[in-house]
Structure 1
Amino acid sequence: MKDYAIKGRLAVATPQANPTVEAEVRRILPNDVDYCTLRLLSESGDPKTRLIEYLTSLPETIKSQFSGLSVLNLLFGCTASSYLTDEKTEKNVLRLASEALDGAQVITATEAIKQYFNKNNIKKIGILTPYPAWLQQHAEKYWADHGVEVIATERVEIGSDDTYKIYELSTNDARPGLVRLTKEDCDAVLISGTGMPSLRLISELGSTGKKIVSSNYAMTLIGLSYLGLSPKNQKDWFN
């Protein structure tokens, strides 16, 4: 651990086919913080069931994949799992997951976003997602139920009701919708979902004066803050 994780080692839990979480977390973390990946698994062909199982099976996934590996906290990189799972169930699962990690904190993407909103006094948001319509509805309801006013939405079309198609998207697919949302009367724009690339958009459009936060960015930022650490400077994300 001292050779490659001088200031700490995190765990990053990512959906089984998601290629984006690791790539973005790697760019945000300072060089002296390392991470190990946990793949969230489900054999279900139904996307809703699969997304829920990513969360509800987390304690057993930790036990089978990490086998006692020591980490300082775990970043749970599937925003939609929280949108679809009731809070009582989620709270119990996260407690068991923390126990499986010898007490390490488990930070969901949604919890990180909520903390980011609170720290920055964000009450009104625009939401950009790559979700199918059925999941978009759950996302909007989740934030409304948590006291955040959703004043505008943009959805990147993936041509499918299955979320696997999200992983084929690029920054260029998301840019037009984000540009439109930055012109809305909101405190911030949320790029919801860990599978669609977000960091170039945050870097390029963050100078518009509108706060832009994504699931991956919030999750990593808050995870580092628990360790008293700061993220890598944005200008170094792609150097």
Structure 2
Amino acid sequence: MPRIGMLTPSSNTVLEPVTYRLLTGADEVTAHFSRLPVTAISLADEQSSQFSVDRMSAAAELLRDAAVDVVVWNGTAGSWLGFDYDRQVGEALSQVCGVPATTSTLALRDAFRAFGVRRLGLVTPYTGDVTARIAETYAAEGVEVVADERLEITDNFTFGEVPEQRLAEMVEAAAPGAHAVALVCTNLRGAFVAADLEPKLGIPVLDSVSATLWKALDLLGGLRIDRGSVLLSGSTRAALKEICAQLRAATGADRTAVRLDLPSQRLDVDRAAAEDTGPGVAPIQHDPRPDALNTARWLDEHRKTLVQPNFRADPQADADDVRAQMLAPVEIGGALVGWISVHSRTERDWTPADVQAVETASAHVKALVER
């Protein structure tokens, strides 16, 4: 049975019980914890020293004794100390325990990428200067904080006393205009708030505890849990994102995207499940297209790759900035469940190698869905 090892701030009272609740029914994996002293959060040097790599490594040695299969630092300090810091932490933990490692901040970054988040609503218990530093860290990764709601608290234990209703109010306030909302702190009772609010808000709500557990499960092979979008579809979206990135690199296209009708993970073709775009190319992943797509009707009728160097003949493009495209259907059991598309913003003669690349990508998507 796989074991997840988690390093926990000493004054954190939320992440252990919430992690156990999230894992209810997932009997094929267990979570185990080790603590290190963390009591207050600020940008002061004495608070930053709580998160030294040496302290992390010492706590990880106790998890090594439990023969864990993956180890994570379940804290968000990297969101203000920087991704380079968390990468160092991850490397140290992996070396100590001899297994893959990650952190809450790296997990959130990977979730932002998987869900195509470029505009973020931020919810924290922290003070304004810490929250501003978090916004700077995320901006360096191409994620703009468009709204933030914060509690101006420094005592870590007190974070865990904030009522769920207050967090729900903060999430809703931070949501307008955002691609997703992130609750950044593993001592906030936000995991089930996030899962409950997603249908109402229509965007992912990425709680730090849930995101950290998701990434740990992803490193173990991608066990899905139906308790919020990141735990349910995060691994699928991340894998689709990688397929899109490889396809765009192979074709030199401006945009690649995947649309899937996958109810078990609450994915539908109205929005792209994943995409990859070139510099300066507008994303379409967050643009709903509820009407029947011209190209979808063609694919459903013909069940073969659509290759269009221009649009002087139907079907016409569904995205305004596209002047040439290829689309390959994804079929499961004879049913069209989606397609992968390649877009060019200029007219273009697609080569046989380009066609082979999109058909290979379609096969990879099919294999992923079937798996």
Please, what TM-score do these two structures have when normalized by structure 1?
A: 0.84
1:206 maps to 198
Q: CA deviation at 1:55?
A: 4.5
CA distance in 2, matches of 1:66, 1:151: 38
Residue from 6, 9, 14 that aligns with 2:3? 9
Q: Which runs of 5+ in 1 are unaligned?
A: 1-5
1:133 maps to 128
In structure 2, the CA distance between the partners of 1:142 and 1:24, relative to structure 1 (3 Å rule), is same
In structure 2, the CA distance between the partners of 1:204 and 1:84, relative to structure 1 (3 Å rule), is closer
Q: Which runs of 5+ in 2 are unaligned?
A: 229-371
- For residue 171 of structure 2, what is the amino acid of its counterpart? L
In structure 2, the CA distance between the partners of 1:132 and 1:223, relative to structure 1 (3 Å rule), is same
Q: CA deviation at 1:133?
A: 2.1
- For residue 3 of structure 2, what is the amino acid of its counterpart? R
**Contact 2:42–2:127 under 8 Å retained in 1:** no
**Partner deviation per Cα, 1:38-74 (whole Å, 9 max, x = no partner):** 10225x87754335423421112222x3353211111
In structure 2, the CA distance between the partners of 1:52 and 1:206, relative to structure 1 (3 Å rule), is farther
Ranked by relative contact order (alpha carbons within 8 Å, sequence separation 6 or more), the top structure is 1
Aligned pairs (5 A) from 1:113-128: 113-128=108-123
Q: CA deviation at 1:108?
A: 0.7
Residue from 207, 213, 218 that aligns with 2:211? 218
**Contact 1:132–1:163 under 8 Å retained in 2:** no
1:229 maps to 222
Q: CA deviation at 1:192?
A: 0.7
CA distance in 2, matches of 1:46, 1:204: 28
Q: CA deviation at 1:157?
A: 4.4
2:13 maps to 19
- For residue 213 of structure 1, what is the amino acid of its counterpart? L
**Partner deviation per Cα, 1:180-219 (whole Å, 9 max, x = no partner):** 223x111101111111111221122110211111111111
CA distance in 1, matches of 2:182, 2:226: 20
In structure 2, the CA distance between the partners of 1:24 and 1:122, relative to structure 1 (3 Å rule), is same
1:163 maps to 156
Residue from 47, 50, 61 that aligns with 1:53? 50
Residue from 68, 72, 75 that aligns with 1:75? 72
2:94 maps to 98
CA distance in 2, matches of 1:46, 1:123: 27
In structure 2, the CA distance between the partners of 1:85 and 1:108, relative to structure 1 (3 Å rule), is same
1:107 maps to 102
CA distance in 2, matches of 1:47, 1:16: 16
In structure 2, the CA distance between the partners of 1:131 and 1:100, relative to structure 1 (3 Å rule), is same
In structure 2, the CA distance between the partners of 1:233 and 1:141, relative to structure 1 (3 Å rule), is same
In structure 2, the CA distance between the partners of 1:11 and 1:204, relative to structure 1 (3 Å rule), is same
Q: Secondary structure at the match of 1:150?
A: strand
Aligned pairs (5 A) from 1:177-188: 177-182=170-175, 184-188=176-180
CA distance in 1, matches of 2:103, 2:207: 13
RMSD: 2.3
CA distance in 2, matches of 1:70, 1:95: 18
Q: Percent identity?
A: 20
**Partner deviation per Cα, 1:109-148 (whole Å, 9 max, x = no partner):** 1111111111111111110111122221221111112210
CA radius of gyration, larger in: 2
Please, what TM-score do these two structures have when normalized by structure 2?
A: 0.56
4+ runs deviating over 6 angstroms: none
Q: Secondary structure at the match of 1:228?
A: coil
CA distance in 2, matches of 1:88, 1:188: 24
